[in-house]
Amino acid sequence: MKRLTPNMAVKDVAQTVKYYVENFGFTLAMAVSEDKSSIGQVLDETKQYIWANVMHGEIGLMFQTQQSIQEDVGSFFSTIGSSQTLYIEVEDASALFETVKDSVEIYKPLSDTWYGAKEFYIRDLNGYILAFSSRI
CA of 108: how far to CAs of 78, 105, 131, in Å? 26, 9, 9
pLDDT confidence of residue 38: 85
Contact 132, 88 (CB under 8 A): yes
CATH number for region 1-76 = 3.30.720.120
pLDDT confidence of residue 108: 98
Q: Which of 78, 63, 58, 50 is nearest to 20 (CA)?
A: 63
pLDDT confidence of residue 77: 83
Contact 41, 28 (CB under 8 A): yes
In the chain, where are the structural domains located?
1-76, 81-136
End-to-end CA distance of the chain: 29
Each of the 136 residues of the chain gets a pLDDT tens digit; together they read: 888 899 999 999 999 999 999 999 999 999 999 999 889 999 999 999 999 999 999 999 999 999 999 999 988 888 888 888 999 999 999 999 999 999 999 999 999 999 999 999 999 999 999 999 999 9
Fold match between domain 1-76 and domain 81-136: yes
Helix (H) or strand (E) holding 93: helix 93-100
What crossing angle do the helices spanning 93-100 and 13-24 adopt, rounded to 10°?
A: 120
Q: Is 5 helix (H, G, I), strand (E, B) or coil?
A: coil
pLDDT confidence of residue 76: 86
**Of 3.30.720.110, 3.40.50.150, 1.10.3720.10, 3.40.640.10, which CATH number belongs to 81-136?**
3.30.720.110
